[in-house]
């Protein structure tokens, strides 16, 4: 007899119900990793690791919708992005932003895994399967995927299909997420805190680089003690904070100094969205142009950028009748449209092509 049965008045007072979830092995058996997807993941991770170690002089771009809510529109975006990725591949290594989990400051839609039907039915079991299906389709195109690692259990279900991971500004200081990152198979970008504090992310990089022991689940869904080896590919993501940007040359220089002081390789990614663009998506091209100018001028620490982009510009509210919603438009943060995305990537590649080619 469980403690809950013996003492029902003191345990699980605010739990309404428990519903069984398929195990990671069960969902992976239902949606197995294809040879094409596995090749994309391996190639994507290897390229990113070489960029972070300086062996590959290209820069990487994590670009895509703020969040995935319509897999049909998402896959159309992926097909377009694959064509563009091939076009600029000599200079830019493109990773599609595929975010299924959204941290909320208060309340709101928490993402495709949590509520795939966007009707508060919270079919997480379906959401996890649908998310895996989408990742398989994106990787089958030959396009690597990047995501935010938010729920510490999700990587057991989806981690074999991810090439790059981010830890968000709200969770970079979390011990749980630092421990999880130490075991992730991808390079991990840690965002500075919501207040702009870079030291939080630097401490996270240092922590994630070391081995950890913590509670998690294995492929059978059994609670396990997870032993990690540490992740050597942590890096800093500047996303601004407290409504102020931090992608300017002074901010980047200070971040470099702080990383060197911590005996870290100063690998920096600039998030063109969030506070760096004052949450105005139309300013993202200006941010990226400034960042490219820094690289052209000789900066070697900026290894990548992030862009929130979709088929249609802006964002929209979730409606009860989903058929009335605008196809290809974000339901979370506002994005730049596809035409703007093409211009941003092509212009950046053109400006960087001769510069990066001559770097030893």
Average pLDDT (242-263) is 97
pLDDT on residue 9:
80
pLDDT in tens, 283-334: 999 999 999 999 999 999 999 999 999 999 999 999 999 999 999 999 999 9
Average pLDDT (147-168) is 97
For the cut 70, the answer to whether the pLDDT of residue 106 exceeds it is no
Q: Taking the domains of the chain in order of start, what are their residue ranges? A: 34-48+56-357
Which CATH code, of 3.20.20.70, 1.25.40.10, 2.130.10.10, 3.30.70.1230, is assigned to 34-48+56-357? Answer: 3.20.20.70
| Integer Cα distance of 241 and 199 in angstroms | 13
pLDDT on residue 4:
58
| Integer Cα distance of 101 and 67 in angstroms | 8
pLDDT in tens, 339-360: 999 999 999 999 999 999 888 6
pLDDT on residue 268:
99
DSSP secondary structure of 105-159: SSSS---TTT-TTSSS---HHHHHHHHHHHHHHHHHTT--EEEE--STTHHHHHG
pLDDT in tens, 123-144: 999 999 999 999 999 999 999 9
Residue 146 forms beta bridges with which residues?
Answer: 97, 164
Give 308 or 105, the one with higher predicted confidence: 308
Residue 244 forms beta bridges with which residues?
Answer: 241
Average pLDDT (42-56) is 98
pLDDT on residue 174:
97
Are 218 and 156 in contact by the 8 Å Cβ rule? The answer is: yes
pLDDT in tens, 211-237: 999 999 999 999 999 999 999 999 999
pLDDT above 70: percentage of residues in the chain: 96
For the cut 80, the answer to whether the pLDDT of residue 102 exceeds it is no
pLDDT on residue 42:
98
Average pLDDT (7-35) is 93
pLDDT on residue 358:
82
């Amino acid at each position: 007899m469980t403690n809950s049965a013996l003492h029902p008045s003191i345990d699980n007072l605010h739990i309404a119900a428990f519903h069984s979830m398929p195990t990671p092995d069960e969902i992976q058996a239902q949606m197995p990793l294809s040879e094409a997807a596995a090749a994309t993941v391996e190639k994507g991770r290897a390229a990113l690791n070489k960029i972070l170690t300086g062996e590959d002089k290209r820069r990487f771009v994590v670009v895509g919708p703020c969040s995935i809510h319509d897999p049909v529109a998402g896959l159309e975006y992926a097909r377009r992005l694959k064509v563009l990725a091939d076009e600029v591949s000599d200079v830019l290594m493109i990773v599609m932003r595929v975010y299924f989990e959204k941290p909320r400051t208060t309340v709101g839609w928490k993402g495709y895994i949590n509520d795939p039907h966007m009707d508060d039915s919270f079919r997480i079991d379906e959401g996890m399967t649908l998310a895996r299906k989408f990742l398989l389709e994106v990787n089958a195109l030959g396009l690597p995927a990047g995501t935010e690692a938010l729920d510490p259990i999700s990587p057991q279900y989806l981690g074999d299909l991810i090439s790059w991971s981010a830890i968000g500004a709200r969770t970079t200081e979390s011990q749980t997420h630092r421990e999880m990152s130490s075991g992730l198979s991808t390079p991990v970008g840690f965002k500075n805190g919501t207040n702009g504090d870079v030291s939080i992310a630097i401490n996270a990089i240092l922590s994630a680089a070391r081995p950890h022991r913590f509670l998690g689940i294995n492929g059978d869904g059994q609670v396990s003690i997870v032993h990690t080896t540490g992740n050597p590919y942590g890096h800093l993501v500047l996303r601004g904070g407290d409504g102020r940007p931090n992608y300017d040359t002074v901010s980047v220089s200070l971040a470099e100094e702080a990383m060197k002081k911590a005996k870290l390789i100063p690998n920096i990614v600039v998030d063109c969205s969030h506070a760096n663009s004052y949450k105005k998506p139309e300013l993202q091209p200006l941010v990226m142009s400034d960042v490219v100018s820094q690289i052209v001028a000789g900066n070697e620490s900026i290894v990548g950028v992030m862009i929130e982009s979709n088929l249609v510009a802006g964002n929209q509210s979730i409606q009860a009748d989903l058929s009335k919603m605008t196809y290809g438009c974000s339901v979370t943060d506002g994005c730049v449209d596809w035409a703007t995305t093409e211009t941003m990537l092509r212009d950046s590649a053109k400006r960087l092509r001769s510069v990066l080619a001559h770097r030893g």
